[in-house]
Amino acid sequence: MQVQKMAGKSKRPSKVAHGLLLVDKPKGHSSFDVIRDLRRITGVKKMGHTGTLDPMATGLLVICFGEGTKLVPYLTADNKSYEAEITFGLSTDSYDAEGKTVARDTWAALKSLTKDKIQEVMFDFLGTQTQKPPAFSAIKVNGERLYAKARRGEEVEVPTRTVTFHEIDMLSYNSGSETDDLLPKVRIKVKCSKGTYIRSLAFDLGQKLGLNTHLSALRRTQAGAFTLSTAHSLEQIDGDLLHDLLTPLAEALPQATHLSLSDEAVLAVKQGKMIPAPEGLTNAELGLCRATDSQGRLIALLTFEKNRLKVLRGFNP
């Protein structure tokens, strides 16, 4: 008797999509939670984000799909903007509301706090400076995340980093209430360089004022050219309509010089060859270039080298 081999259950093929999706991350989700949810909703497997948000934080998360993942290093380098709430009178081991309380201030100490004092100290943070991230952070030291060491109660040597605060503005100040035990809070708007920890800003602000502080709320409002106003909640994302929600790759780096290439130049670029630069333009004028084909699709990121354009990154639209 001939035995017929039964075919194994075939996996549903994953979908393919290329572009950027702007997501309004909900509180309680890690950045990877959002990726996992989107894979389930859309059926697309290849994706990545351009800047981690802590679970406590909400707001703009730029998700790159398919060929868009090649843009992650360029988009991660963009400045970020936030709205943050800092609470005075209490500090935690993680510098935010989710950590263990380390110290509290008396109301006598808090009564010395004024809106003008906060405003004056905030100005000290403007510009480029050295910042020490929280021990509870995703930074890797010797191959291990710092938060893993901190959770084990180990002494953590946190490496400092150079960051830049381009703007810090006060949105509101609430002096709190001793009777109701409502601690003072300040809401601020911040524009800063990549890799900046707003939790550390909250901690450092308290140190300069001689008070305990922690970050009690954080919302990212902008990342590079993208704003929260055009982002979608996870509930609004329909996998069948994904392509209607994606920002085309050609629009991902609007600050880069745009070059529309001829079919001949497109072929050369796809082969990794250098092509002539536009006449009369210098490296300073061109900078990073985004090259598109006749259909407006992103073909490559180019850089100027000896009067020619060299391929930094190629794309397959």
Active site positions, annotated: 54
Q: Which residues contact 198 (CB under 8 A, 6 or more apart)?
A: 82, 84, 190, 192, 215, 218
How many C-beta atoms lie closer than 10 Å to residue 287's C-beta? 12
End-to-end CA distance of the chain: 52
Residue 209, both tokens: 């004022």
* Residues 104, 129: Cα–Cα separation, whole Å: 28
Determine contact, residues 61/25, Cβ cutoff 8 Å: yes
Instruction: Enter the tokens of residue 92.
Output: 């935690």
CB atoms within 10 A of CB 213: 28
Instruction: Report residue 105 as tokens.
Output: 């201030």
What would the DSSP string read from start to end of 233-267? -GGG--GGGHHHHPBPGGGS-TTSEEEEPPHHHHH
Contact indicator for 281, 55 with CB cutoff of 8 Å = no
Residue 220's closest CA among 64, 27, 88? Answer: 27
Say how many C-beta atoms besides its own lie within 10 A of residue 80's C-beta: 23
Q: What is the widest separation between alpha-carbon atoms in the chain?
A: 93
Hey, what are 273's tokens? Answer: 């060859």
